[in-house]
Each structure stands twice: as C-alpha cells, then as structure tokens.
C-alpha cells in the first residue's frame, strides 16, 4: 500500500522536479479560485508543509467542498519547481482522493493560535498541530539519542519492574496496585515504582554499566508545571565509578541530548525559538558549549545568602534547595548548568554515600536554566555497616531492605548513578513551559482523560 508513498520531509529535501509521486497527509489549509485550488499538506514527518496545486480540470465538487482543514487526502502528481517563496518544490496534482473528511466547521483545529489549555482539552487531536507535532518529534529524537548515548558507551539497557514492593526510601508518595477482587494479589502490598534505582544497582553489580528508561509514578498532589504523576525516567548506574564520574556522565549525556536536537530537528527548533521561547537556541548553545559549573552544596548556600536577593524561602544550610534557589544559581549567577554535590545527610536518602565529614553525602543534582533540577543522583553507599546504621537511625526495619542489604554483602564496590526526568529534558529542548505539554497524554492530579 505505502510502497510509492513519499514522506513530505524527504520530498522537500530531496525531491526533484519532474518526478511522479503519491503523497498522503492532512490538509492544514485550502485556498480555492476559479482556475485552481491550493492545498497545504502536512504528514507529521516535518513541521514544513507541501503545497499542492489542484488544477480546475480535476478539482471536482468533492475536492472543493469536502477537502477542508483537517481532512486526510491521498494525492498523486508531478513535482514541479515552485514559483512561490519559501518552498523549493510543489506538487501538481493529477489525482486527488479524499480519505477522511473533517466535516467542516466542527473540526476544533480550524484556526491557529489556540491556548495550551484548550489543546490539553483535545489531547487526542493536538498531535496534528505545529507545536505538538514538533514537541513529539523532539521527544522521539531525545529517546533515540538516549539509547544511542548509553549504547555507544557500553551501558546495558535493562528493564526494572513497574510493580514493586520497595519504596526507594520516600522518593515520593506511591500509588497502590490492587485487583478489583482479591487483596494482596502479590502476597504483600504492591505499588507502582517511583524509581528503578535499587533494582538497577542489583543489575550493575554484574553487568557493570546499566541504564533503565521507563515510566515512573509519583502520587504527590503537586500542581506545578514541572511535576507529573506518571513520567519517564532514565537511570544509569555504574559499578566501579564515583560521584565525580557521575557528574561527568550527566554532563556528557545532557550535551548529547541537546546535540541530537540540533542535528535531527533544526526546523522544529527554529519554530520553538520563534513562537515558544526566543532564548531557546541560545540556552541550548550554552549547554552544548560550556563546561558545567561544579560546586558544593555548602558553597551554593553561601552564594545564595550573599546574593542579597529576596527569596520566598531564605536559604539555610541543612534545608533542601527550592526551585527559586536552583534557578537563581543556574540562570543568574552562573548562567550555565550547575552540578551541586555534597548535600546534608539529613535531607537525602539512606543509600547515598557518606562523606568523610560525617555531615554530608555524595549526592548530586544538575540544574539547568528555566527548569532547575533536571538530574538527581549520587554515589551509593556500598559499605553495608553504614547502610544498616542509617536505616536503623531512621527507624526502618532492616527486614524490609533485606535483598538490597544482601546485595552489598557480597562483592560490594563503589558505584554511582542518577535519574534524569525525561519530560524535563523535553521541556528544556523545546522551551515548552508546562510539563503537561511535553508528554502526549499527561497524568496529573485530577487529570487522566484520554
Ligand atoms: P523535585 O525536587 O523536582 O520534585 P525530586 O528531587 O523529587 O524532584 P528525584 O527523586 O531526584 O526527584 O527524581 C529524579 C529526577 O526525576 C528529577 O531530577 C526530575 O528530573 C525528575 N522528576 C522527579 N519527580 C518528577 C515528577 N513528579 N514529574 C516529572 N519529573 C520528575
Ligand atoms: Mn532530586
């Protein structure tokens, strides 16, 4: 069926005048005069459109009446040089077939310039718009770049469970998994995972280098523009590596992501820079070209306190950094990405490596402009006595962590890893301001339609 079918992206870049071909797509707009109809077609392969000229001889009533904005069509024709500006070639139709009409006035994407809120209400249709087509193409590029990046460095892609009985020590509130009938289907409480890390560590202790890339769930009732209830996370884990290697890996990975968009989505990027965020390209160039700043949490608190800036939450040693603090550091103070290491032990999870000062752990966050935290990671505590000590001090039952402790009982080695929120990376690379607009069908408190 699709053998002679050409995608618009290929036609626009390589198509030669004189070629006969078939193109299928959706009508973005139509203009009709006595002699001729112009159709503007998009097929999702690119943000660019193909102009189709339908001569009056073949412009039957059905072409004129039913091929409206939103309709799907199949068009056979000859590629000709375009006399118009902005395109090299256009298609002179010899056969026009209506595949699916869009019944006139009811099609909700009739006009341009709908609000993002309105688009969220028609999430099943929004992939047909310029903005969301570009977002989802960039999302795909970033996913493929992720697999390429880790694959080329010898990381093994592993699959960790989505249904889990461990809570990754309060990484977030969890969703319970139940059947509609029998309780305790798994013989115990089960939840949707908040992180694949603990399982990932078990695999790294064997494969050396691993990464996960999967869905993650958090039941926090947060209504911010940076949190979802269901989001995707990439979690590499490296045996025999430490916190500095972890920061280096995060920097290389973020740069690879940004590079992939420059390489594969130049037209989408141009569109975002024009219509969504005028500083997008310069922000991405900074990420690509500058070495990330590396500072300690203690120094970061010092900079924030000396800044003279009025923060809603005054920065204090021992408290977690707020988004306003993170954004000040990366956007105003350093004007580039910042990796912060050495957080107070008391605000971090039990599995993080205890530094010699006994006050801080080898945690690291990477902060980027416009987003704040995009990566959170750590060197892991591999010394079993220290793990047990901390769990007991936190009032935890060692039995609940038995397999994780057991893992470190045999052949434990220094290891480190991090989690990158995939949607935050998509926000970063598109300039989109709300995380609900970079995942096709967002799940957030009160939101699970579609
Ligand atoms: P935040 O402080 O922004 O809420 P966190 O510290 O709770 O994030 P981590 O547990 O460190 O998040 O998770 C690793 C990464 O996953 C974060 O750096 C972030 O990019 C992403 N992330 C965390 N929670 C969410 C969420 N609810 N929605 C989307 N991405 C998230
Ligand atoms: Mn974090």
**Mean pLDDT rounded to a whole number for the chain:** 94
Pairwise CA distance, residues 37 & 62, whole Å: 12
Pairwise CA distance, residues 32 & 61, whole Å: 12
In a domain, 67, yes or no: yes
Atom of ligand 1 nearest to the CA of 419: 14
Q: Is the CB of 325 under 6 A from ligand 1?
A: no
Q: Is the pLDDT of residue 168 over 70?
A: no
Residues 395, 265 share a domain? yes
pLDDT for 173 equals: 87
pLDDT for 169 equals: 60
Contact 389, 359 (CB under 8 A): no
Contact 361, 378 (CB under 8 A): yes
Which among 428, 374, 338 is positioned nearest to 142, based on CA atoms?
428
In a domain, 448, yes or no: no
Q: Is the CB of 171 under 6 A from ligand 1?
A: yes
Q: Is the CB of 233 under 6 A from ligand 1?
A: yes
Residues 145, 106 share a domain? no
Q: Is the CB of 348 under 6 A from ligand 1?
A: no
Pairwise CA distance, residues 174 & 152, whole Å: 34
Q: Is the CB of 371 under 6 A from ligand 1?
A: no
> Residue 34's pLDDT band (boundaries 50, 70, 90)?
confident
Contact 321, 295 (CB under 8 A): no
| End-of-domain residue from the set 88, 111, 134 | 111
| End-of-domain residue from the set 86, 111, 136 | 111
Of residues 166 and 385, which shows the higher confidence score?
Answer: 385
pLDDT for 252 equals: 98
Q: Mean per-residue pLDDT for 354-364?
A: 97
Q: Mean per-residue pLDDT for 4-29?
A: 93
> pLDDT (tens digit, 9 = 90+) per residue, 314-343?
999 999 999 999 999 999 999 999 999 999
In a domain, 167, yes or no: yes
Pick the residue whose CA is nearest to atom 7 on ligand 1. Answer: 171
In a domain, 245, yes or no: yes
Which among 424, 418, 371, 416 is positioned nearest to 234, based on CA atoms?
418
pLDDT for 87 equals: 86
> Residue 438's pLDDT band (boundaries 50, 70, 90)?
very high
Q: Mean per-residue pLDDT for 135-143?
A: 98
Residues 340, 239 share a domain? yes
Q: Is the pLDDT of residue 32 over 90?
A: no
Ligand nearest to the CA of 422: 1
Q: Hey, which of 230, 348, 421, 428 would you mutate to test ligand 1's pocket, going by the most ligand atoms within 8 Å of its Cβ?
A: 421
Atom of ligand 1 nearest to the CA of 194: 10
> Residue 297's pLDDT band (boundaries 50, 70, 90)?
very high
pTM, 2 dp: 0.96
> Residue 188's pLDDT band (boundaries 50, 70, 90)?
confident
In a domain, 188, yes or no: yes
Place of tokens 């990754």: 168
Q: Is the pLDDT of residue 106 over 90?
A: no
Residues 32, 134 share a domain? no
Residues 375, 299 share a domain? yes
Pick the residue whose CA is nearest to atom 6 on ligand 1. Answer: 376
> Residue 171's pLDDT band (boundaries 50, 70, 90)?
low
**CA–centroid distance, residue 383 to ligand 1 (Å):** 26
Q: Is the pLDDT of residue 107 over 70?
A: yes
What distance lies between CA 327 and its chain's CA centroid?
19
In a domain, 341, yes or no: yes
| End-of-domain residue from the set 111, 142, 165 | 111
> Residue 78's pLDDT band (boundaries 50, 70, 90)?
very high
> Residue 189's pLDDT band (boundaries 50, 70, 90)?
confident
Q: Mean per-residue pLDDT for 70-83?
A: 94
CATH number at residue 38: 2.40.50.140
Ligand nearest to the CA of 229: 1
Q: Mean per-residue pLDDT for 357-374?
A: 97
Residues 242, 98 share a domain? no
% of the chain exceeding 90 in pLDDT = 84
Q: Is the pLDDT of residue 104 over 80?
A: no
Pairwise CA distance, residues 322 & 314, whole Å: 9
Residues 382, 335 share a domain? yes
Q: Is the pLDDT of residue 129 over 60?
A: yes
Highest averaged pLDDT of the listed ranges 50-59, 77-86, 377-386: 377-386
> pLDDT (tens digit, 9 = 90+) per residue, 192-218?
999 999 999 999 999 999 999 999 999
Pairwise CA distance, residues 204 & 172, whole Å: 23
Q: Is the CB of 149 under 6 A from ligand 1?
A: no
Q: Hey, which of 221, 226, 228, 428 would you mutate to test ligand 1's pocket, going by the most ligand atoms within 8 Å of its Cβ?
A: 226
Ligand nearest to the CA of 419: 1
Query: Euclidean distance between the first and final Cα of the chain, in Å?
Result: 30
In a domain, 210, yes or no: yes
pLDDT for 111 equals: 76
pLDDT for 1 equals: 59
Q: Mean per-residue pLDDT for 110-130?
A: 92
**CA–centroid distance, residue 435 to ligand 1 (Å):** 12
pLDDT for 39 equals: 95
Residues 86, 210 share a domain? no
Atom of ligand 1 nearest to the CA of 418: 14
Ligand nearest to the CA of 372: 1
Residues 330, 215 share a domain? yes
Q: Hey, which of 321, 419, 439, 444 would you mutate to test ligand 1's pocket, going by the most ligand atoms within 8 Å of its Cβ?
A: 419
Q: Is the pLDDT of residue 437 over 60?
A: yes
Pick the residue whose CA is nearest to atom 18 on ligand 1. Answer: 375
> Per the structure, how many domains does the chain have?
2
Residue positions counted in the chain = 450
**CA–centroid distance, residue 54 to ligand 1 (Å):** 51
In a domain, 223, yes or no: yes
Q: Is the CB of 54 under 6 A from ligand 1?
A: no
> Residue 411's pLDDT band (boundaries 50, 70, 90)?
very high
Residues 230, 345 share a domain? yes
Range of the domain at 56: 8-111
Q: Is the pLDDT of residue 170 over 70?
A: no
Residues 147, 105 share a domain? no
Atom of ligand 1 nearest to the CA of 233: 16
Q: Is the CB of 343 under 6 A from ligand 1?
A: no
Residues 232, 175 share a domain? yes
Ligand nearest to the CA of 323: 1
90-104, 139-153, 226-240: segment of lowest average pLDDT: 90-104
Q: Is the CB of 227 under 6 A from ligand 1?
A: yes
pLDDT for 175 equals: 94
Pick the residue whose CA is nearest to atom 26 on ligand 1. Answer: 227
CATH number at residue 247: 3.30.930.10
């Amino acid at each position: 069926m699709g053998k002679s079918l050409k995608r618009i992206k290929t036609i626009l870049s390589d198509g030669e005048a004189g070629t006969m071909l078939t193109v299928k797509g959706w009508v973005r707009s139509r203009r009709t005069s006595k002699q001729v109809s112009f159709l503007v077609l998009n097929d999702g392969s690119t943000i660019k459109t193909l102009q189709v000229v339908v001569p009056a001889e073949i412009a039957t009533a059905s072409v004129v009446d039913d091929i409206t904005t939103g309709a799907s069509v199949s068009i056979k024709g000859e590629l000709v040089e375009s006399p118009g500006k902005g395109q090299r070639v256009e298609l002179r139709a010899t056969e026009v077939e209506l595949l699916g009409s869009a019944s006139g006035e009811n099609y909700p994407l009739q006009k341009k310039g709908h609000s993002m809120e309105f688009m969220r209400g028609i999430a099943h249709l929004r992939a047909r718009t310029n903005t969301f087509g570009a977002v989802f193409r960039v999302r795909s590029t970033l996913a493929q770049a992720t697999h390429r990046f880790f694959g080329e460095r010898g990381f093994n892609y592993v699959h960790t469970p989505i249904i889990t009985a461990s809570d990754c020590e309060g990484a977030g509130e969890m969703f319970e998994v139940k059947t509609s009938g029998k309780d305790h289907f798994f013989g115990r409480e089960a939840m949707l995972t908040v992180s694949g890390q603990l399982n990932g560590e078990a695999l790294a202790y064997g494969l050396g280098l691993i990464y996960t890339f999967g869905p993650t769930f958090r039941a926090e009732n947060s209504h911010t523009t940076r949190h979802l209830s269901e989001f995707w996370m990439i979690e590499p884990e490296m045996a025999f590596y430490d916190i500095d290697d972890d920061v280096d890996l995060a920097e290389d990975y973020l740069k690879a992501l940004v590079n992939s968009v420059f390489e594969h989505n130049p037209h989408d990027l141009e569109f975002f820079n024009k219509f969504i965020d005028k500083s997008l390209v310069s922000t991405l160039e900074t990420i690509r070209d500058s070495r990330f700043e590396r500072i300690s949490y203690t120094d970061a608190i010092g900079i924030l306190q000396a800044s003279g800036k009025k923060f809603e939450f005054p920065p204090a040693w021992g408290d977690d950094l707020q988004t306003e603090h993170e954004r000040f550091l990366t956007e105003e103070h350093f004007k580039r990405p910042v990796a912060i290491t050495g957080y107070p032990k008391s605000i971090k999870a039990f599995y993080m490596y205890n530094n010699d000062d006994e006050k801080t752990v080898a945690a690291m966050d990477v902060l980027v402009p416009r987003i704040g935290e995009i990566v959170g990671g750590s060197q892991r505590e591999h010394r079993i006595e220290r793990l047990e000590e901390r769990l007991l001090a936190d009032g935890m039952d060692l039995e609940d962590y038995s397999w994780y402790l057991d893992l470190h009982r045999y052949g434990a080695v220094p290891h480190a890893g991090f989690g990158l929120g995939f949607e935050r990376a998509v926000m970063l690379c598109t300039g989109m301001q709300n995380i609900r607009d970079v995942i096709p069908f967002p799940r957030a408190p009160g939101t699970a339609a579609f």
